[in-house]
Structure 1
Amino acid sequence: MANRRKKKKTAGQKAAKIFTIIGVLGVIAFGIREYVSYSQNPFIVKWRNIYIETAVTTHSHQWLATLIFPRSVVNQVVANINAQTLAQENMESTWKNGETDANKNLSGKEWFTNVYWELDSPSVNEYIEQNPSCIASGYENLKIDNLDGELDIFTAKGDRVLVVDCANNIFLTAVQGDGYVGKMAFVKEPAQVKHVLSKSFGSYGEEIEDFGDSYGALIAINASPFEDVGGHGSGAIIRGSCIIDGKEYGHPNSMKLYAMNFDDLLYVTNYSKDTVSQYRWGVQFFPALIIDGENVLTSDSGGNGIQPRTIIGQQANKTFMMLIIDGRQVGYSLGATVGECATIMERYNAVQAGALDGGSSAVMYYNGDLITKSSSVSGRGRYCPDSLIVIPASQKDNWTDEYSDFPN
């Protein structure tokens, strides 16, 4: 039987085939988009909402929401975000369950396990037993430096211990979860936490590392949100309240106020000019995570998607906590939901907690260096108008703020 020659396809036939393939792929893509956009499958709903929330709450990438999803779907998610914000409108701390001061009249190991209950773990106890020199001057001066993470010592909750400095009433841990890593600082004497302004406040801000260096801080994190037109803000103008020693330096709005009173109790509350004088310091942002021991989020994401985070909180014994979650860095840390952050704070018995401005501003400084990785272009965070710092214990009783020349 004679071989039949295959007819060569004409250019028109080839083009028709290509367009057919493109058309089929387009129909498939459209079908997938429609399914993902409107499906009520719980798994798809969760991650669709988180994607949209992440996009619309990221200053420079809001367009990514409508690039993939119909405007109507995006608008519904935005409406849910607004509803979750409104749900917290009348929520305020009362400290209805009171505070429970740790018994600081104890001494030695009994004092340590009572005050630093988070460190009462087999690995920490074993380390101290094997390295008795670290308590040669007593547990009150216990010092452990594991910032490189080489030592396998963990808290009672399973997070790696990075630093213990009992003389300065602090310790630091690493935290990690599904898709995120971060650092957490614990301050046993909340009076060591100070709210400070940039040296050129009102004109431009400073990087957090500069705050730490110039104020001689042990720890520093970002604090207030600021005007950020086009993503190029200089940190000059604060969005929200900025209270320092009973005086207002910011521009109060309707966001939640996180304020420390002169009895060292952190309040998650609403702003009122009549109560400013009652607070040692205060800063505004959203959402609140925990109020009087109750998780007040209505969803895991809290309407805020996955982002780098700055979180503050307090235990009933007044231990102050600062949490930074790195994010927006594929292969390292994408970020966390506020729900995941609330879980971390609950793990350490927070009775009050809330989110500060995060994103590329989120960064933690310790003892001369940044110990987290900001998603900012510089990797050092943004120029910020203010900072929450932790000063050495030796400076607690003679600290003075020098803001008399600043407008308030």
Structure 2
Amino acid sequence: MILFTCWFYLTASGSKIRYVLADTLITTQHRDWAKYLIGSDQLNERVKNYWASFEQMGEVRDKGLVKLEPQPVTETAVVKPPPVELVKVEAISGPNFKGFLMTISDPKKLKIVVPNKVGMGEKVSSMVKRTGAIAGVNGGGFIDPEWKGNGFQPEGIVISGGQIYYNDGTLESTQQVVGIDKDGRMVAGKYKVSELLKMGVQEAVSFSPRFIVNGEGLVKSQADGWGIAPRTAMAQTKDGSILFAIVDGRQKHSIGATLYDIQEIFLSHGAITAANLDGGASSVLVHNNEIVNKPSSQYGERYLPTAWLAFDNPQDVHVANIWAGLDINKIDPSKWMK
């Protein structure tokens, strides 16, 4: 035990593992436990540095490498290519994790959907079934007191169908967003809300960081990967296809993944842009009305305020704004409606 303690706290290799474990705890409801591994001062500094790096990642501007323009038709192009499947789900894995990669071939088929009951979030599987969606994953962050919140109050901004449904700032406030514009291009990073409207962003939620920009990964190593955890993340390839990575964690079959792990999976599939979505116990993938992955919570799916859903005809789907007319400062995210 003495030898282990000396190795764990006094050697470079031991400290590397110690900080990975601390980062893993930081992503859970037991964040304070990390102080026993690295001390309170280092814990606070670690969290501060992560948020600062996330802010910097969000400020790198997109060079527009995604090409969505239709290819010109020539006289020799008489054979039509076979139709591309809208939704494709495949298994992914790594040394410590198992999960799924979902590909959406047409980004304009995605829509942000919100709950249909004021004062309470909704499970993604319920949103999928209620709206007739083909598939869905969890969306942006939300205010979650003691990790026991009702899933009703988002953090940041929610845009659906080109309309602002929720905004905890002003039009000139900056938000970390993950979204899709009117042309089907993924928009991620830090933007003023007024910028998002001018850019024609149609669907968006708030979360961070954006960790791939212009085809370059911004997470430089596993040590910077924000710990091992269940993950949900979104990316776009050069041809416009949207990728969702959903990784199980905190379970025997899958401990979890770092952001570096997710980044490497996305880059290997040709991602140009990628950003993190809410993870942990929120991570869920629903396809054909079945939960495909294994959410980490012992209670199953969480109640959430937003989800990315894929539809054959999203223009026919009506999403009511349940926050319209509410004073968001008076929402109590700890109280459940019955």
Deviation at 1:406, TM superposition (A): 4.3
User: Secondary structure of 1:340's partner?
Assistant: helix
Distance 1:230 1:175, change over 3 A: same
User: What SS does structure 2 have at the residue aligned with 1:342?
Assistant: helix
Q: In structure 2, the residue corresponding to 1:382 is in which secondary structure? A: coil
Aligned to 1:204: 120
Pairwise mapping of residues 369-388 of structure 1 onto structure 2 (< 5 A)? 369-379=290-300, 381-388=301-308
1:248 to 146, 164, 168: 164
Q: What is the one-letter code of the residue matched to 1:244?
A: S
Report whether the alignment pairs 1:82 with 2:51.
yes
Deviates more, 1:86-95 or 1:206-215: 86-95
CA–CA distance in structure 2, aligned partners of residues 323 and 176 of structure 1 = 11
**Which letter maps to 2:231?**
R
Query: What SS does the corresponding residue of 1:66 show, helix, strand or coil?
Result: helix
Whole-angstrom distance in 2 between the partners of 1:405 and 1:104:
43
1:370-390 alpha-carbon deviations (Å, 9 max, x no partner): 0000001222x2100111001
CA contact (8 A) 2:106 2:241 kept: yes
| 1:76 to partner: Cα distance | 4.3
> Gaps (5+ residues) in structure 2?
326-338
Select the structure of larger CA radius of gyration: 1
Name the residue aligned to 1:259: 179
Paired with 1:301 and 1:92, the residues of 2 have a C-alpha distance of 25
| TM-score of the pair, normalised by structure 2 | 0.85
- The 3-state SS of whatever aligns with 2:54 is helix
Do 1:288 and 1:297's aligned partners in 2 also have CA atoms closer than 8 Å? no
> Which of 146, 150, 154 is the aligned partner of 1:230?
146
Aligned partners of 1:81 and 1:303 also within 8 Å: no
Counting matched residue pairs gives 316
Question: How far off its partner does 1:104 sit?
Answer: 9.9
Amino acid at match of 2:106: E
**Alpha-carbon deviation of 1:401?**
2.6
The 2-side partners of 1:298 and 1:210 are apart by 38
Tell me if 1:325 matches 2:247.
Answer: yes
Counterpart of 1:401, as a letter, is H
Aligned partners of 1:361 and 1:374 also within 8 Å = yes
In the other structure, the counterpart of 1:70 is 39
1:36 aligns with 2:30: no
Contact 2:140 2:306 survives alignment (8 Å): yes
Q: Which has the higher contact order (CA 8 A, sep 6+)?
A: 2
Whether the aligned pair in 2 keeps the contact of 1:246 and 1:276 (CA below 8 Å) is no
Is residue 234 of structure 2 the alignment partner of residue 312 of structure 1? Answer: yes
TM-superposed deviation, 1:256: 2.2
Q: Which amino acid aligns with 2:138?
A: N
Aligned match of 2:288: 367
Residues of 2 paired with 1:240 and 1:37: CA distance?
39
* Change in CA separation of 1:377 and 1:107 when aligned onto 2, cut-off 3 Å: farther
5+ residue gaps in structure 1? Answer: 1-24, 112-138, 141-165
The aligned runs of 1:166-205 (5 Å cut-off) are 166=84, 168-200=85-117, 202-205=118-121
Which residue does 2:22 correspond to in 1?
A: 52
Q: Secondary structure at the match of 1:389?
A: strand
> Is this contact kept in 2: 1:84–1:302, CA < 8 A?
no
Amino acid at match of 1:389: L
The letter of the residue matching 2:123 is E
More helix by share: 1
Alignment of 1:297 with 2:219, yes or no, is: yes
What is the aligned-residue RMSD (CA, Å)?
A: 2.4
Cα pair distance change 1:37/1:273, threshold 3 Å: same
